[in-house]
Amino acid sequence: MAKHPKKIIKPVVPEIRELVPFIPQVIIYLFFVVWGYFVVKTYFQKFPVNLNMLNYVFSLAEFAPGTIGSLPGNIINSFVSLILTALIYVSAFGIGRRIFPKDDAVSVTPQENYVFSLGAGFAVIMYLTFFIGLLGGFYSALFRILFLAMTANGIFELNKLRSQKLLHVPKIKFSILGLIITITAAFTLVTALTPETFYDTLQYHIGVPFLWVMKHKITAMPTIMQSFYQMNAHMLYAFCLLIRDEFLCKTLNWSFSITAIWAIYVLCKKHFSVKTGLLAAAIFITIPMGLYVAARSCVELPIAFFEVLAVFAALNYLKTSANKWLITSAVFAGVSVGSKHTSAFSVISLLFAFAVFFLVYRRKEIVKLLPKLAVFCLIVGAILSPWLIKNYAQVGNPIYPFVINANGTINELSKGKPVSYSDQTQLPLTLKNIFTIPWRVPMGEFQEGVSGAAFLFLIPMLFFFRKSNPGSKFLILYMIPYYLLWITIGVVYVRLFIPGLAVLSVLLSYYASEAKVSSFFKGCVITVLVLFFANNIFTIMVSQKFSQNPLGYVLGMQSKYDYLSNQRPTYPCPYYKTIDWANKNIPADSKIAFIGETRPYYAQRDVFTHSAYDFNQLALWSKQADNPEKLKEILAREKVTHILFNVPETKRLSGYDILQFEPKDFEIFIKFWEKYAKLADAEISDVTLNDGRKGSTIPEFWGQYRSNPFNYVYLFEIMPEEEAVKPHQKPYNFLLSKELYEAKRHELLAPVIDKLLKERR
């Protein structure tokens, strides 16, 4: 019986129209001379380039000469992490090849199929990890066996491609944009190879998966609100932790910067041109905030990858009308929104773009489209639903810790009360804000406003051309609601706009590279962009030197212990020395309750911690007790054996009201503390001063700094009753100090504190 030939679906819209300006080209040239001068002058005044800072960036003077004792171990560690990252990609690709369709209606080019297969494979790994975690299967042995099986399958699939001569290394031609991409990737890799220090990452990006791994199960953690976020991308980090450690999390996250620009390039190659793809990749990978998150275990780059795939599939649907592409777009949109709430911007923008595009350009098909969009929403909801169901089962609110108010505004629940979910004030959606924010963000007027000036420089290109590629029109429609949602809900945090900037990179690159204007003008535009790219790289190099200082560790002149024992701007009040002592010296079945410290990662013992927005578990237990002895019983029931007290971090976070004692339970805890707490260890970390020097290298500073007990992190043992009744030295009671409390909290506790201080005089 003869096989039916595959049905080839022809494009339903023209491929590419010439991008011809509707005004004389000379006007465009004159405009960009003035605009370019104004942007470059203002931006470089705000962010000047001082090449002398390169001496600071590459300086190793703070490290003892000839000290490379950690080099072999650090190199091996980095090599293993990179190899395992590559094998995770092999595993994801192998899974994706088995589940992603390969017929012509769905995939036209091999590269296109490869990038979608990779996305499908990663999605499977995310949800497989999630469901195994719910069932209590977070055991390293199990996941290493699964990883071996996945890797073997991936190698098998790659070998099939090789035997079919479908696997080949692309020819690489030199270009300045390619060189910039390579330099950028290498620079961020060096920083990604250092131990993790980013606060959000240690607190919940890998901190929460780490706690689940410690418990071998995904469980409710009421004192860490972030544990109720959608965490698809975090499941990849749980997978990494079950296989190895945080270094693998970092290299995997870094790899998504490469994967995202690969997806961008393949998208552009199909729907626009190779030139568009190369420029879009360069624009995206050099976004300063993108460089920042590429060196840490964050979630913006994985989300960007999946949102690009969702948009890519949507463009394919516009070309072919094949329903499989609409389903594919919905699946990847669901995966991305299952990683972070703000990825709902992408879902809403896709629905808006589809509806308006068909209403304007393909009106006859709009009736058929509407039920398809309903199915699109159902698919997104189905992909997202496991996280919503989990939250509903655990706390009765599927979107916890968020609440939607009667007036439509969104708040986050903090200590049982609705508060703003952002430190940055929400902006009203006025015409002034809509039109000025693209200027104000790159000029540094907002928190985390590190976007670079490339987007600002290119935006006027959108207004000089009337007829364009249908795909570009769809992207414009996509970006409109995305941008407005980012202003109103995303409160102009550039980090939350990184996935949107991936798509905007494609759109602006199309206009910059495909416009029918003189080659000289295009060359000038590229030259200005290269200046911006170089400035972005330079700015982040200086910033990363100050915040992470990677060279000492990467070159083996600093051990992991030394690296993590030094305070930096994005690594405040480190507790590593104290927790390292605990990891090595207290019994393996010990449990540690934290005071002031919210970052559980690096503990190799079970811990009770909380976010800055949640109740401290010790304060909650104190409310349940009638006396110090009862509190001791509660802690014994919870098997708490030690208390870690990060005093400088408590002081730093005092504005968040992290010590939520009421007068009665506060007095109970103080009496418990004085009766049962015994000092086990006290450690002080070095500090990086404003001029980049270590505090310990300046005797006059260091002598005073280390003499202050408020600069130490302490570990206290909870003594058994028989030891507590014996005469012993009471520990210093930091909790009687005003500086550890939020103003209203101290006002509430002041009478009790005064009473207790008088009793101790």
> Per 3-state DSSP, what percentage of the chain is helix, strand, and coil (rounded to 5)?
65, 5, 30
Q: State the Cα–Cα distance between residues 118 and 126, nearest whole angstrom.
A: 12
Instruction: State which residues of the chain have pLDDT below 70.
Output: 1-17, 65-67, 102-108, 167-170, 172, 761
Q: What angle do CA 139, 140, 144 make, to 5 degrees?
A: 125
Contact present, 200 and 300 (Cβ < 8 Å)? no
The distance from CA 732 to its chain's CA centroid, rounded to whole angstroms, is: 39
Beta bridge partners of 465: 21
In sequence order, which ranges of 550-615 are alpha helices (DSSP H)? 550-554, 560-564, 576-585
Q: State the Cα–Cα distance between residues 688 and 705, nearest whole angstrom.
A: 13
Residues 6 or more apart whose CB falls under 8 angstroms from that of 241 comprise: 206, 209, 210, 213, 248, 249
* One-character DSSP codes across 625-660: -SSHHHHHHHHHHTT--EEEEEHHHHHHTGGG----
pLDDT at residue 105, as a whole number: 44
pLDDT at residue 170, as a whole number: 66
What pTM did the predictor assign? 0.94
Enumerate the domain spans of the chain.
25-64+72-167+182-546, 565-759
pLDDT at residue 8, as a whole number: 45
Instruction: Give residue-wise pLDDT tens across range 107-147.
Output: 568 889 999 999 999 999 999 999 999 999 999 999 999 99
Q: State the Cα–Cα distance between residues 302 and 294, nearest whole angstrom.
A: 10
Q: Which residue has the tokens 């980095």?
A: 78
Contact present, 458 and 35 (Cβ < 8 Å)? no
Beta bridge partners of 741: none
